[in-house]
Amino acid sequence: MRKRRVRFISAIIILMIMVLLTRLMQLQLFYTENYSKHHVNLLNESVKQRTQEVLIDDGRGHFLDNEGYPLSYDEKTILVLFPFLKSINWDREQVANILNTTKEKLELSLSNAKKPLIYGEISPIQAKQITKMNIPGLYAIQKKYPPESNIANQLIGLIGENREEFWKRYPEKKGLDTKLGISGLQNSFDEFLIEEHPSKLIFHVDGIGAPLFGIDVKYSGQSNPYYPLMVKTTISNPFQKGIEALVDKYEIKKGGALLLDIETGNILASVSRPILNRENPFLDDGAVNMMFEQHIPGSVFKTVVTAAAVEEGLIENNEEFNCSLNIRGEPAERDLGMLALNESFSRSCNKTFGELAVRVQQEENSFLEKYAEKLGIIGYTGWEGDIFHIKNFRQFAHEAGRIFTSDESRKDQNYIMQTGIGQHEVRVSPLSVANMMATIARGGEKKEIRVATDIQYANGGALFHFPEQNVKGDHISTSTAIKLQSLLRSVVTDEEGTGHIFQKLPFKVAGKSGTAETGVERDGVQLHNKWFAGYFPFEQPKYALVVVNLEVPNDQGGINPLFADIVTMIYEENHKQQQGRPEE
């Protein structure tokens, strides 16, 4: 009986030892980089426990402006002091002199340090002098930081930590604990930008923080000179900064501005408000790019109605419309009298375009949508194509826009009239409206919009170039485009036109205004979306510009002064650049 008990207890002990050995083998041999359902990298975690480190660069790729200068980061020269400096001899007096401080202040800042201390930014000359002293634990390094200017925040987007999403996107990288793009271009280009080899200064310590292998600080980082990759965007730094400043000058709380290069289809500037709060990015739509979101456009949409009516021959020469009435046949707020198409367009008569929209839809109930697509105001408008193994890569996420949501709306006369003035179910983005203006300015030719021209290696070499691409499919005729150009110009030249204040600008402007009822109330006041979209110079179109102020009272938030100031800023910036060019 006693022998059986001994055997039983021995078997239990052996089983427990086997379980412990199996567990130990899991930890040490089999699942060191992917342990448990949480996919913990045990090697990384163990290293963290016995090292002090300074992150120089997380290894993630970045974005550049159209001149190749950093857009998504600033690089600064900083001084790093490791805690073991407290216990070794070094020339504190000379270092203090180089830093323009006192030995006492330098020692005070170091006295309570338990981890590597970033003393602060220093000049290149100071960095060179300190490096020459060759003091262990004292390092002048180049470190990347988020940019202080914070321009084009919503366009560039955000990165964040989300293990499950990261491993879902990149199952072959399970076990890595890294950030990924969650919005904007950071999300679109994430596969090219994800960090692989962060650059660090590493110092090994024991359990109480004392040096483990002496005072040797090691560098760990990217050994491949081609990485990380960089995305060269189409953003013009001067234009972006100038428009950001003007949008804030006019206190745009929700809305912004978007500038396109007409010839190339490049986005030169994209400004969105509310301002992004990096501490709480999803507060109050701060992370949302309003230039890519759909909004009610109001009278800007009359451009589409006009294109359809003109091209389909649904309006007679010298035909006039009763612009003293609104679309319901009641007296209008503005008694404009009988107006032909030109004056109806320049003065934004609702009655004219409500009637024309009905004619267009009666001809074929898909015509308004077809012409909206021909003008590039709905549908995906961005660059799309194959990049290596990635099929149908899109440079940015963008909603398609819409005109109607049901067959009932396409056939109901009241709904159609509201649609004709850009109300009811019409939703388009400022980006697509800018695209429409650029399409008209080109004579009907449609181009895919680019926000990036190249993916580059870290040394500046080209990995992939995004070529200019025309949009396949139907487009408006050249004659219709010329007619629309004339009408858009009349908005400015007509003394009673909604854009007449632009007559004295340094560039000749063509465009269309819009004021849309949103159905939203604040403190009992109805709110409106206010737009102006246009292009310039009129004779040789170069820029398409859209400005929008969303959800403001009808008697506030006028957008025309902002549009005018942006045009003037662009003119002055071009003049500066021309003056700065060397003589040929």
In this prediction the pTM is 0.87
Residues 410-427 pLDDT 10s? 999 999 999 999 999 999
Least confident span in 27-41, 418-432, 437-451:
27-41
Stretch 362-389: mean pLDDT, rounded?
94
Q: Given this model, what pLDDT does residue 201 score?
A: 80
223 a catalytic residue = no
CA distance 514 to 528: 10
Domain ranges of the chain: 237-580
pLDDT of residue 388: 87
Mean pLDDT, range 291-306, rounded to an integer: 97
Which residues are within 8 A (CB) of 563 and not within 5 positions of it... i.e. 6 or more apart? 502, 511, 532, 534, 545, 547
pLDDT at residue 274, rounded to an integer:
95
- How far is the CA of 541 from the CAs of 243, 342, 364, 429, in angstroms? 19, 21, 33, 22
Asked which of 77-91, 479-493, 522-536 is least confident by mean pLDDT, the reply is: 77-91
| Cβ atoms of 327 and 412 closer than 8 Å | no
Q: What is the pLDDT of residue 583?
A: 46
Q: What is the mean pLDDT of residues 81-103?
A: 89
Angle between helices 478-493 and 430-441 (to 10 degrees): 110
Across the chain, mean pLDDT equals 88
Q: Higher model confidence: residue 200 or residue 130?
A: 130
pLDDT at 215: 59
Question: H or E segment at 370?
Answer: helix 367-374
| Average of per-residue pLDDT across 206-214 | 53
Report pLDDT digits (tens) over 310-366.
999 999 888 999 999 999 999 999 999 999 999 999 999 999 999 999 999 999 999
Question: Which residue in 346, 362, 266, 320 sits closest to 511, CA to CA?
Answer: 346
The C-alpha angle 173, 177, 180, rounded to 5 degrees, equals 80
- For the ranges 36-50, 70-84, 511-525, the lowest mean pLDDT is seen at 36-50
**What band does 42 get if pLDDT is binned at 50, 70 and 90?**
very low
Question: Taking a C-beta distance cutoff of 8 angstroms, is the pair 73, 145 a contact?
Answer: yes
pLDDT at 26: 58
Mean pLDDT, residues 435-446 taken together? 97
| 72, 183, 272, 299: the active-site residue | 299
Sequence-distant (6+) residues with CB within 8 A of 171 are none
Rounded distance between C-alpha atoms, residue 584 and residue 577, angstroms: 14
Residue 116 CB burial class (10 angstroms; 0-12, 13-18, ≥19)? buried
List, for residues 495-550, the tens digit of each pLDDT value: 999 999 999 999 999 999 999 999 999 989 999 999 999 999 999 999 999 999 99
Highest mean pLDDT among 57-61, 164-168, 258-262: 258-262
For residue range 361-374, what is the model confidence (pLDDT) as tens digits? 999 999 999 999 99
Give the CATH number of domain 237-580: 3.40.710.10
Three-class HEC string of 232-243: EECCCHHHHHHH
